[in-house]
Chain A
Amino acid sequence: MTPPGSIVIVGASAAGLSTAEALRRLGYEGRLTLLDAEPHQPYDRPPLSKQVLAGAWEPARAQLRGQTQLDALGAEFAQGEPAVALDAAERSVTTASGRVLRADAVVIATGLTPCRLPGQDGPAGVHVLRGLDDALTLRAHLTAARRLVVVGEGVLGTEVAATARTMGLDVTLAGMGGTLLGAQLGEVIGGELARKHAERGVRLRLGVTVDELTGADGRVTGVRLATGELLPADAVVVAVGARPATGWLAGSGLRLGDGVECDSRCRAAEGVYAVGDVASWEHEGYGRRLRLENRTNATEQAQVVAANLLGADRPYTPIPYFWTDQYDVKIQAHGLPSPAAELSVAEGDPAEQRFAALYREDGRVTGVLGWNMPKQARLLRQQALAN
């Protein structure tokens, strides 16, 4: 196979930028263009809900690479230039400003768009957190606000609650799930984390749905639950999940399901690949379609996409991994720890807030969890999980 002479990458966040870097590392010398809707230089997202929101890091510290490294890529960066259409057969991308870029290959790395609650866009003081500007707007508001309600008990919701509580706000977290991170880590670990939040003074309203956001004079005043309870708030964060950002791909000729549907090589069509949060692909190890919304996936998948763009024929078969840091707890999750799995402690002691545990389904280890034991969890992953 002749390597492509030109490649356009749509999305210059972790997945898109890592693909560009991997292409150069593997010897690609052709033309490289990165488009991004963001006006900012590529930055990292995990710190947004933690160090950047807390004010512990200047925003510049969240930048993925310095100017010298970006320059060394020999790529054209078109920032503030969202793609609005793709013709997959022609491999041509149209941007909001009307620019049309044709290339031998296109990489889709447009990530996610946060879900919103009905009525959310009315009153001021209601936030989502996806980008750097979201984080800075929320931070500015939280330094002045007193009462925060977080809607959503997933990774983002629980991290924002922990950060805001540490900043001294009065925090209530409301979620549809029965426990924190229940969908990701199951009831036992979820219960452990819920206790941690309660100890730190976060009020939890779990297993509830939100009826409406209340407001007065154009500002949010609270969140009304389906139970009738009104949670007063001068700031609200909605963290109820996100959808793959594929709106711009309508009419592209690609198959869009839960994300851009790719084969096991992360290929969506001849010369078109998808990488990161937006990509759904056939995981040959698990024998099923997977889409992962985690930071590690962005960089790992980028390596495989870059290699395949240059003629390799590598299936992408990662062991999924995510982490979250909340208060003094560092949680590491390897594999696919389904809520239905049975949990057993393999090392350490939950009473001492330091342990590693295995998730088992039908006698097979499907996941490894570390609670303030990152190294031990990684070692257990190497022993117990394989693809």
Chain B
Amino acid sequence: MTRAALSALLSHWRNNPLQLVMLLAGLALATALWSGVQALNAEARSAYGTAENLLSESGAARLEHPSGQIDQAEFARLRRAGWQVSPVIEGRAGLGTGRVTVLGIDPLSAEAGVGAALAAADLEGFFSGLGYAHPQTLDEIGPTDHPLRATQAVPVGTVLVDLSTADTLLRADGRITRLSVSPIQPDGLQPLEILAPELRLIAPEDGAELAGLTDSFHLNLTAFGLLAFAVGLFIVHSAVGLAFEQRRAMFRTLRALGLPLRSLTACLAGEMVLFALIAGAAGLGLGYLLASALLPDVALTLRGLYGAPVPGSLQFDPLWALAGLGMTLAGTALAGAQALWRLWHMPILAPAQPRAWAHASGRTMRLQAGVALALACLATGLALTGDGLIAGFTLLAATLLAAALAVPLVLAAVLVGAARLARAPVAQWFWADSRQNLPRLSLALMALMLALSANIGVGTMVASFRATFIDWLDLRLVAEVNVLPRSQSEAEALHAFLTPRADAILPMQRIDATLGGQPGQVYAMKDHATFRENWQLIEPVANVWDRLAAGEGVLVNEQLYRRAGLRPGTSMLDLPGIGALPVLGAYPDYGNPLAQAVLSLDRFDAAYPETPIRQFAIRTNDTPGLIASLQDDFGLLSTQITDQAQAKDLSLTIFERTFLITRALNVLTLSVAALALFAALVTLSGMRLAQLAPLWALGLTTRHLAALELGRALALGLLTMVFALPVGLLLAQVLLSVINVQAFGWRLPMQVFPADWARLGLWASAAVLAAAAIPALRLWRKGAAQLLRVFAHER
């Protein structure tokens, strides 16, 4: 019995192959976008795990000096006192044709971890200079003077070597970067505060872990994946709903012939599971391809923004595949639940005529309006009182859903108004008929609205960010030349060399520190017009620059200012080795995930003596002459010099990469929405024949009807676009003033870009026309024969 029933039910799809293709495509695309994003996230998180497990499996605490360097003697003293500490040297160095992070460990004292295990595999080789690196790193840097062995266990961009090899590569002069502290220590040790008061013990959870730093980035990706998944589910819901309507007569017949309701429902549920598995498998394949295509850019972004070592190639994880299939099944259940519920409650003798989707009824419209209103209230409440990233994303979701649910209501009102204003009979019919068919297209139009408003919102956010970022870069990167000394002695020599040749020499020194409970850095700032004239401060106190120069307080970056809720003039900030200092103002610091504080150079030198100079920013009015002199007379390598243009290019490249994935997902979401509209129009075109046939009989040509169908799709698309515009701007405002502040710690002014909207409008129109073209073309070319069949079927 079940087999016969299944066979009857499945015959519907045999007769409507395009509908089946749309259902499977919608499901596969939804799965692909969601699982693609998940694959990216999983790959990145796995890479963070690799990085964190390299030195210790259990997460070791570390000892650091504010200057970033620890003397060998200090290490020896602690070991003699019984402390189980292990030295680590870490720094950036040129190797082969690239630059890598050199990580030097002492395998004999190192905590059990991946690094120690690698070294132990060939201890003799390791001691004599053998290093380990990710295969991708080896490809990137090419052949080197040092023997390197490939391993997946070392993060991309890092080379693991013995301490002495690292010392040579980094010219560390015997100075250790930090000491790794074993979690298990002998009893009765003298406390570190007494033994080494100048060293700071940093617990593993206090460090700037990559997973924590990059959380917002991954949350953004997940939100986009979820949006695309939701848009895909609109297609599925639409296709399942239509198939249900078309098979009402069959359901009635099957039940009249003795098939129990339970079996019928089970058959339909089974059918959905089957489709979900087929489409889910295809979607996983597509998702894997998508993630593979996007991963290199995501990896570059994560490396550029956070220094996160993410490889550019994707590994297959069976758990990811299972989770993706699970999501597809859950999505299908969600999309098909309404159809199954209606079947379960359908009386056996329910009318067999397909009626319009339930949305057509005034009751459903009222319900939809009620839900939209409730969501709008929730969004308003969250906007006024919400706090945190989750609240921010809930606000976004509620805003988008409320707007999506309002789409049919708004469009219905506009179409009714247009029908009233129309004078010509065809125009009158056009608007009235559009209103009547609105419920059948509403799901696709809601998906289109979601995609368009997401495009406008994210586009406005990115463009606003870009404009602000470029202005900010112009002010921030005013130094004509930057040079990177390789050692402190070279820095001193450079300073002496530059003094008669440059207008100003601005040294860059910094220490790592925990600021306001967050991982961060303290910088030294020389009092100079470069900063006074170009840095635009947020809430500065009076005479801020004079007070900073006098060492009376600190400037903090916007991230720290917002996250720690600091108020210039009243708040104090604790600095290691100094204590609490007044906060004098905040400065924008886009693209930096860390907290930052700026001290006057004198105050910094007094608090953190011997901190190496990492960079000089040089003001000059003869950039080419100075660069030539630095290379020819001083002997500086070209890789140690960057001019202003290079620095700006680098920053902009990182910026563009950061939003590359966002743009890609934007385009994909719009494509899915176009597909949803195409699916709705194609399936609707069959049902439309009965509505169009009388007009044809009354004297409208099929060409005229096809043009009207195209015009209707375009009009609905454009009306949706007009509605999406304020929603998108609202979305941008939420992104800029809520999500960005929560995720990154900076607030940006919103700017509007009407040219971008016009471009998006053209793209959306093209997508809508492309979606409507095939049904319209079919109506034009083969319409007469199909329309005639409407009259023939009357008997």
Q: Do A and B come from one complex?
A: no
Where the two chains meet, the residues of A that have a C-beta atom closer than 8 Å to any C-beta of B are none
